[in-house]
Structure 1
Amino acid sequence: MTAARIRCANDVKLSQTFLENPEIKRVVAQLGRLEKKGERPTTRRQLLSTSVRLSRAMAEPLHSMADHCVERLGIETPLELYAYASPQFNAACFKPEHGRVFIMFSSSLLEAFTNQELLFVMGHELGHHVYQHHDVPIGYVLRGRRPPPADLALDLFAWSRYAEISADPGRCVLCERPGQRGPGAVQARLRNHP
């Protein structure tokens, strides 16, 4: 089973529509100009100032999970893993910069989740990278100087949910290991989190 075959159809359809949308093209072009001028703060700089980069020596089990996901998902971009202090369960994958993909985990998630659950979370986050969800700069469009048209904003919120759906089941399949508990275990863990 390939990642393309299990991607949510509405995710694909809306992604393609957004990449042709004049408002989104304008925001993408503006971000590109700022990046070329060096006026856009880099994700890595922001992560290094607000979190801890987890080297392989610091977090070998997490890096082994990352290696497994990278191999199974066919990702060629190097990963950097980060942790930040928070009582909330959270993880995020950021748009690649300078040939690197960044994944960030909250400290509570790293403390509470089993290795199998962390593997699923990491696979889910890498699913966003595999499906290039970061090509649609949803945050910049929604929080820009000019508010987007209402129909575009609603479509972006709907697409965001479809993107989450796409990132889930495939990650469990592509990152599974014998005896692994997948999304059900993660969802149960989230329901029981204070």
Structure 2
Amino acid sequence: MHRIGAAVLLTVVLTAGCGVQSGTTDLERARIGLDSVDGRVGDLRLLSVSIASPGPRGSTHLAGDTAALLLTVANDGQDDDVLTGAETAVAEKVVFRDGDGAAEERLDVAVPAGGVAVLREVTGAHLELTQLRETLRSGFSVPVTFEFRDAGAVTLSVPIRTYEGVRPDRLVEHSS
């Protein structure tokens, strides 16, 4: 009888640990240290999506400021697609910016068939959240919806990176 009880207890403990990763909340995501998220819509994979750290000045993006939204979009399909929009309730707009160039309010980012669109350079091509409506703190996540011409829309809970002392587009990510 004790063996059956021990086996049941062991099964409960092991399966309880399996569910932790799949149902993470934003607070849990911050606590376990995830600094980017991946997603998929149609044949498109959104990879290493994150909001850049505010930098050495602290751990918050202040309301009214801007924040870089970094990602790579990989197209596993046979047809080209286009990122036509992005939105979030925490910013007035999401725009395209190439380094210090003028912000382009109309998103028109080509994602070639079998190729990638790299929007990960804070000093180069990236998306930018403008006129933040609230203070954003490192370690938390915000919902962002990405709209593609053919694949449709996907909403991801995008984490705000913690300052690492290095530009976020220069961080080397290791997988275990």
Higher-Rg structure is: 2
Give the TM-score of the pair, scaled to structure 2.
0.27
More helix by share: 1
